[in-house]
Structure 1
Amino acid sequence: MKTLLALIFITGCSCQFKCPDRTGFFPDPVQCDLYYVCSKGEFEEKLCPDGLVFDARDPNHERCDIPANVDCDERTELQEPQPSPGCPRANGYYRHSDPLACDKFFNCVNGVPHELPCPPGLIYDDTSSTCAWADNSKRQDCKKAKRDKLDDGFSCPEEETLGPNGRKLPHPTFAHPEDCSKFYICRNGVMPQKGSCTKGLVYNEETFSCDDPKDVPGCEDFYEKAEKSKTKKA
């Protein structure tokens, strides 16, 4: 009896729908992944693949997309999920099953999870279904991004680094404390990496680039001193 009532209810909902135009693709007023294909004033009911929702912005195009890209507004209902290991729904982007793997996520395609990494320094953000800076994400469990250290102890500073024009540097560089020809690169501001200038040049922390030794205070005689040091050791 319950099954019969459910069928009557569903059929009743479909029958209430009327094509806004004779031809096109139109959303269900209640369910975001349900839509209708209208042809000559007659409609056919369709469902997006599980995990995707109907993009109703253009009635001339049939398009299902991830929820982060679609404004469902009052269409809050969804079909029953079809979960599998690693995938809360059959399709879409989801946080990694390992709660410590903030910098990884799953792209689920037909129930199969494909592990993907975020760029260095970013974490997966559920709200936008993409990678983001920890400070810009609502994920409380990943607010503090791990800052790696190099073998000599260098790690990227937490504060932003501004360039000569006052703009934030996406990959700032920093002088080596002892070697004028070397420097550090912070990829995306957080991932440390060693760098070195071409022989004959030294790092200039004023311009964030390699420069002539005579233009870098304290490094004018760097290469002469290095040669003398080698001679003494020999």
Structure 2
Amino acid sequence: MPNMVISLLPFLLVALTGVSGQFKCPQGTGYFPDLEQCDLYYECSKGNYEEKLCPDGLVFDDSDPNHERCDIPANVECGDRTALQEAKPSKGCPRANGYYRHEDPEICDKFFNCVDGTPVELPCPPGLIYDDTSSTCAWPEASKRKCDHSKRDVLDDGFSCPEGDVAGPDGRKLPHPTFAHPDDCQKFYICRNGVQPQKGSCSGKTVYNEEIFKCDEPANVPGCENYFNGKS
């Protein structure tokens, strides 16, 4: 999934009292951007206007004057409207709203969704990292962000996914390779997208066969022929 897009819930818009003396409404009614500040805009009606401000961290989407919408900067082309309101930071949130990289620089596969200054930690899908430019999770090779990919998740029994591709019986790369458990014939490990470890277990009277990467009859797996002997 090279272009993962995270769904956005609509954000509430915040109105400001007071009117700037420099802005002039275009003809008609609608919502129009400030010429300098990307999170500032105006609601115009019959030549009169009300000055409004997006929630901190969001900017005004001026693509359609008939719709009032604030969105994350990654989804809006601000152009020369480079100015922004003063930030209202909190722990984990450089601004009150939006998506931001994890505060721990070594954690690349998690990020914060900030809403009104409250951060919620979210994970990227296995194998992806959070990309600041697009405010989404992306494959490392498609992101300009430099991360240390040597850190891999470790299960409670010490297993972590080995590096490198794994070829299946037909010679093709396995997207979710599996590995035999060192001590239990019926158990195995799954590496989601090659990096996210997960425990697995064969059903019924079958054991894991590492030659074919799936569960099989015990008689076909050397060393596991008598695994179920004496077991009810």
What TM-score results when the alignment is normalised by the length of structure 1?
A: 0.71
- CA distance in 2 between counterparts of 1:98 and 1:146 reads 13
Letter in 2 for 1:188: N
Aligned to 1:37: 43
Residues 40, 53 of structure 2: 8 Å contact kept: yes
Q: Identify the match of residue 25 of structure 2 among 18, 39, 48.
A: 18
Query: Which residue of the other structure, out of 57, 73, 77, is the alignment partner of 1:71?
Result: 77
Report SS of the residue matched to 2:227. helix
CA distance in 2, matches of 1:115, 1:201: 39
Gaps of at least 5 residues in structure 2 are 1-18
Give the match's secondary structure for 1:13. coil
Q: Which amino acid aligns with 1:195?
A: G
Contact preservation (8 Å) 1:203, 1:211: yes
- Return the letter of the residue paired with 1:226: Y
TM-score, reference length from structure 2: 0.71
In structure 1, the residue matched to 2:178 is: 174
What CA deviation, in whole Å up to 9, does each residue of 1:69-113 have, x standing for no partner?
212233222122222333222211222223233333322222233
Alpha-carbon spacing, 1:149–1:79, altered in 2? closer, same or farther (3 Å) = closer
1:3 is matched with none
Greater fraction helix:
1
| Structure-2 change in CA distance of 1:180 and 1:52 (3 Å) | same
**188, 194, 197: which one pairs with 2:202?**
197
Q: Give the structure, 1 or 2, with the largest relative contact order (CA under 8 Å, sep 6 or more).
A: 2
Contact 2:99-2:112 at 8 Å conserved across structures:
yes
Describe how 1:37-186 pairs up with structure 2 within 5 A: 37-140=43-146, 142-150=147-155, 151=157, 153=159, 155-159=161-165, 169=175, 172-176=176-180, 181-186=186-191
Instruction: Give the conservation status (yes or no) of the 8 Å contact 2:36–2:80.
Output: yes
TM-superposed CA distance for 1:190, in Å, is 0.6
CA RMSD of aligned residues (A): 3.4
Deviation track 1:11-46 (CA, whole Å, cap 9, x = no partner) reads 4532xx332x41211222332111121212332221
Aligned-partner SS, 1:226: coil
Which moves more between the two structures, 109-118 or 148-157?
Answer: 148-157
Gap change, CA 1:158 and 1:135, over 3 Å in 2: farther
Aligned length: 210
Identity of aligned residues (%): 60
Cα pair distance change 1:200/1:84, threshold 3 Å: closer
Q: Is the 8 A contact 2:166 2:173 kept in 1?
A: no
Distance in 2 separating the partners of 1:130 and 1:143: 18
What's the counterpart of residue 13 of structure 2?
A: none
CA contact (8 A) 1:96 1:105 kept: yes
Deviations 1:40-68 (A, max 9, x none): 23322211111100112222211101111
Number of the residue aligned with 2:16: none
Q: Which moved more, 1:199-208 or 1:28-37?
A: 199-208
Q: Partner residue of 1:226? A: 227
Conservation of the 8 A alpha-carbon contact between 1:164 and 1:207:
no
Secondary structure of 1:135's aligned partner: helix
- Structure 1: which 5+ runs fail to align? 1-9
